[in-house]
A = this chain, B = another copy of it.
Amino acid sequence: MKKIVLIGSGNVATHFGIALKEKGFNILQVWSYNTKNAKVLADKLMCEYTSKIENILAADLYILSIKDDSIINIIKNLSDIPIIHTSGSTSIDVFKNKFSKYGVIYPLQKFKKNIKINLTEIPLLIEANNHKFEKDLIYISSKLSKNTLTVSSKIRKQLHIAAVFASNFTNYMLTIAEKILESQNLDFKLLLPLVNETINNLNSNSPSELQTGPAIRNDEKIIKMHLENLKDEQDKEIYSLISHAIKKDNE
């Protein structure tokens, strides 16, 4: 499992590539539709690159980090080499009947190419089509992170949904807050101590124990006043729906 080809050159491929190289794995080649992107990552990893599927080299492992929609198209052109993808919502079965050894390593994290992330603490969720290959994937994953876990495609999918709420949707709540502050010519940074405190408390309590605010206090007067003072119809609708949900959960 030492010689690896990275299929993809996006955020996950970049972070995985760099971390694997640091841990002594031999990255042979980077493939991307886009030659320029392939070259950027290959330069970082000091390896070959190609944009032609037929030029992808043989290796011990192919790591596929591309858009979910593209996976089926790419894999039909690949040889039977041990292969994994890194997607939260694509089933392991995408590889079925085509490969002998296949699996998934899904990092429960958001990545941006230019923001350095230490993989050590990041949960890596592993799935494999047989026990021996699972052991190979656990070996690789445990070189990258202290936090590895074997989960089925079904559970991984639920984790991906939870991640959308925990990251994408929390970020959107903050985007609405930012918009409100900007409408008053105030800097979003004013809210950072509050946001940090909200998140820091999660180290010792679970979020369901930490809910505060007008909805959980059933403070209809404040809720009504807030709704009257929200300018954007969409924000009103979101405020109303979430307040209703918080109240209902605590009835």
Contacts and interface: CB of A to CB of B under 8 A. Distances in A.
Contacts of A248: 234
Interface string A43-83: 00000000000000000000000001100000000000000
B242 A167 contact: no
Nearest to A226: B161
Stoichiometry, as copies per complex, reads 2
Interface residues of A, number: 85
Interface centre among A149, A184, A201 (most CB of B within 10 A): A184
A171 B209 CA distance: 10
A107 to B, nearest CB: 9
Interface in A116-149: 117, 121-123, 147, 149
Question: Which one of A149, A174, A203, A237 has the greatest number of beta carbons of chain B within 10 Å?
Answer: A174
For A115, A162, A184, the residue with the greatest tally of chain B CB atoms inside 10 Å of its CB is: A162
Interface stretch (A1-9, A24-32, A95-103, A212-220): A212-220
